[in-house]
């Protein structure tokens, strides 16, 4: 009897250990941040605002709007003085200058644009200090396994194991509207693996690749524009 | 055969037939598309040119509807005529001092319009995510813009294209996804028209001629 109890006790934690290991592995993502600092132009002031825009001039991909919203929300949450203008509100109020096909590609082109008195007035109303362009996307790079689900008169369930790798690559370019100069560039690369084991019930263990990239990037942008003497480069 | 077993047999047949009919109906419904687009174009922030511009929408422009009935796109009917008219009615008043809607591409005698714009639909193409194996709804629209003198003489014409793409994940139906992609394409056209009008070679030449005439008349008039 004691021997049977011991062997039962030895076997019981094994599935829990495997599940915990998978949970920890699936939840982890690795982010690499690179930063380039341009002209140091001082921190953002209390009434000044920023806008985060997605670069969508390339036909093969579109910077996800939820990533743009995520960076904007994180900047608002992290920054003491950062007031973020929603992307749609800014693009609509500055129409037609920030459409995918008409948006300036270089900070030097801003000078010509703001010579238009109507544009200058709009920007003055918004009190815009920084314009942050984000280009990139999150892609699934590898997928393995299979999952099948069935429903019958007695009930239903799923069986199988699915895993996939996600890679997020984004670059933020920060323009200083007040000084018409490049304040800096930040790139974020995040990799993560998600798992979905299924024994009757699928258990999704998802690597939050896009949200990790968003949080890391927003933190770095906040340090660059909201704090004087931001770090030179970080890996 | 006992009556209750005969009834059960025919009951099974009826259910199978109804299921098949329902599936066929559903298949037909999902591939057909009937869409009337709604467009939102903001007011452009551009400097008004000191011109009185006439605008003429001919029947072909007003009535153009995208229709397709192929193996992959059965009974597609996309009507963006109201959106097209709305685009020009939104953009042109921001570009010119005054805009007048005209019944023809020729002004009535005594009219004070400086020129007349008349757009024409050249082409419209659409793509679904399932067709391009991407996560994007896409729309591509091409207009031809003609500029006439008040007497109907053609000053010049040029094409304007607009491209729109929207992420599939933002929409619950094809109709909404395509509507947004078409809206984006039309915004694109409005932006190019507003920013590019005065840069067209024919328009530059016409404006230079007008300015020269006005300067001459200013000199001559005592």
pLDDT digits (tens, 9 = 90+) for B68-77: 998 888 889 9
What pTM did the predictor assign?
0.79
A29: pLDDT strictly greater than 70: yes
Is the Cβ pair A97, B45 closer than 8 Å?
yes
Position A4 pLDDT exceeds 50:
no
Ranges under pLDDT 70 in chain B: 1-30, 214-222
Q: Which of A64, A92, A101 shows the shortest C-beta gap to B42?
A: A92
Q: Under CATH, to which class is B29-220 assigned?
A: alpha beta
Contacts of B165 in chain A (CB under 8 A): 56, 59, 62
Helix orientation angle between A209-226 and A65-78, rounded to the nearest 10 degrees: 50
Whether residue A117 and residue B47 make contact (CB cut-off 8 A), yes or no, is yes
Domain-wise residue ranges, chain B: 29-220
Torsion of Cα atoms, A223 then A225 then A231 then A235, to 10°: 70
| pLDDT of A85 higher than 80 | yes
Cα-Cα end-to-end distance for chain A: 57
What is the rounded distance in angstroms from the CA atom of residue B166 to the CA atom of residue B66? Answer: 19
* Rounded Cα gap, residues B146 and B111, in angstroms: 19
Helices (H), chain A: 2-11, 13-27, 65-78, 87-93, 110-113, 117-126, 209-226
Q: CA of A220 to nearest chain B CA: how many angstroms apart? A: 27
Tokens at A113, concatenated = 């644009």
pLDDT tens for each residue of A143-174: 888 888 888 888 888 888 888 888 889 999 99
Query: Which has more confidence, B21 or A134?
Result: A134
Residues 118-147 of chain B with CB under 8 A from chain A are 136
Q: B72: exposed, middle or buried (C-beta count within 10 Å: 0-12, 13-18, 19+)?
A: exposed
Averaged pLDDT, A82-91: 92
Task: With beta carbons less than 8 A apart as the criterion, state whether A197 and A203 touch.
Answer: yes
Asked if the bond preceding A96 is cis, omega within 30° of 0, the reply is yes
Contact call for B167 and A59, based on CB within 8 A: no
A-B C-beta contacts closer than 8 Å: 55
Dist CA A176 CA A88 (whole Å) = 20
Question: Which of B171, B180, B191, B199 best probes binding to A when mutated, by most A CB atoms within 10 angstroms?
Answer: B191
Shortest distance between the Cα of A60 and any Cα of chain B, in A, equals 9
Q: What does each C-alpha distance from B207 to A200, B199, B214 come to in angstroms?
A: 74, 10, 10
User: What ipTM does the predicted assembly reach?
Assistant: 0.79
Per the CB < 8 Å rule, is B188 touching A65?
no
The pLDDT value recorded for residue A27 is 54
Judge whether A71 and A54 are in contact, CB under 8 Å.
no
- 3 state DSSP class of B88: helix
Per-residue pLDDT band for A140 (boundaries 50, 70, 90) equals confident
Q: pLDDT at residue A16 above 70?
A: no
Is residue B119 within 8 Å of B210, Cβ to Cβ? no
Give the separation between CA A41 and CA B39, rounded to whole angstroms. Answer: 41
Q: Which residues of A touch B187 (CB under 8 A)?
A: 95-96, 99
């Amino acid at each position: 009897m004691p021997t049977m109890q011991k062997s039962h006790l030895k076997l019981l934690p094994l599935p829990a250990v495997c599940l915990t290991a998978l949970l920890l592995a699936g939840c982890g993502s690795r982010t690499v941040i690179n930063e380039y600092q341009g002209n140091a132009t001082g921190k953002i002031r209390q009434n000044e605002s920023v806008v985060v825009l997605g670069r969508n001039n390339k036909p093969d991909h579109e910077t996800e709007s939820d990533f743009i919203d995520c960076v904007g929300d994180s900047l608002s949450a992290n920054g003491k003085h950062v007031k973020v203008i929603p992307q749609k509100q800014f693009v609509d109020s500055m129409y037609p200058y920030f459409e995918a096909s008409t948006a300036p590609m270089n900070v030097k082109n801003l000078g010509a644009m703001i010579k238009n008195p109507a544009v200058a007035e709009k920007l003055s109303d918004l009190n815009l200090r920084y314009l942050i362009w984000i280009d990139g996307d999150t892609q699934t790079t590898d997928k393995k396994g299979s999952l099948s689900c069935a429903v019958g008169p007695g009930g239903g369930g799923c069986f199988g194991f699915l895993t996939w790798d996600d890679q997020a690559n984004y670059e933020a370019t920060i323009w200083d509207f007040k000084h018409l100069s490049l304040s800096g560039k930040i790139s974020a690369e995040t990799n993560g693996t998600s798992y979905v084991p299924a024994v009757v019930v699928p258990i999704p263990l998802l690597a939050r690749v896009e949200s990790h990239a968003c949080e890391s990037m927003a933190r770095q942008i906040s340090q660059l524009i909201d704090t004087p003497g931001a770090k030179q480069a970080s890996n | 055969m006992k009556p209750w077993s005969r009834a059960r047999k025919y009951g099974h047949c009826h259910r199978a037939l109804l299921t098949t009919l329902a599936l066929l109906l559903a298949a037909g419904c999902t591939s057909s598309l009937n869409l009337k687009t709604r467009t939102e174009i903001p007011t452009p922030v551009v400097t008004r040119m000191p011109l009185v511009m006439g605008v003429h929408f001919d029947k072909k422009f007003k009535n153009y509807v995208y229709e397709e009935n192929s193996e992959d796109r059965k009974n597609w009917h996309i009507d963006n005529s109201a959106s097209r008219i709305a685009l020009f009615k939104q953009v042109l008043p921001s570009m010119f001092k005054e805009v007048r809607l005209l019944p023809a591409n020729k002004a009535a005698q005594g009219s004070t319009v400086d020129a007349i714009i008349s757009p024409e639909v050249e082409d419209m193409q659409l793509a679904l995510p399932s067709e391009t194996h991407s996560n994007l709804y896409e729309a591509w629209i091409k207009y031809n813009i003609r500029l006439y003198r008040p007497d109907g003489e053609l000053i010049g014409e040029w094409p304007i294209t607009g491209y729109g793409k929207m992420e599939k994940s933002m929409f619950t139906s094809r109709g909404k996804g395509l509507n947004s992609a078409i809206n984006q394409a039309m915004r694109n056209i409005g932006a190019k028209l507003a920013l590019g009008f005065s840069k067209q070679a024919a328009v530059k030449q016409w404006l230079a001629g007008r300015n020269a005439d006005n300067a001459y008349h200013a000199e001559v008039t005592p």
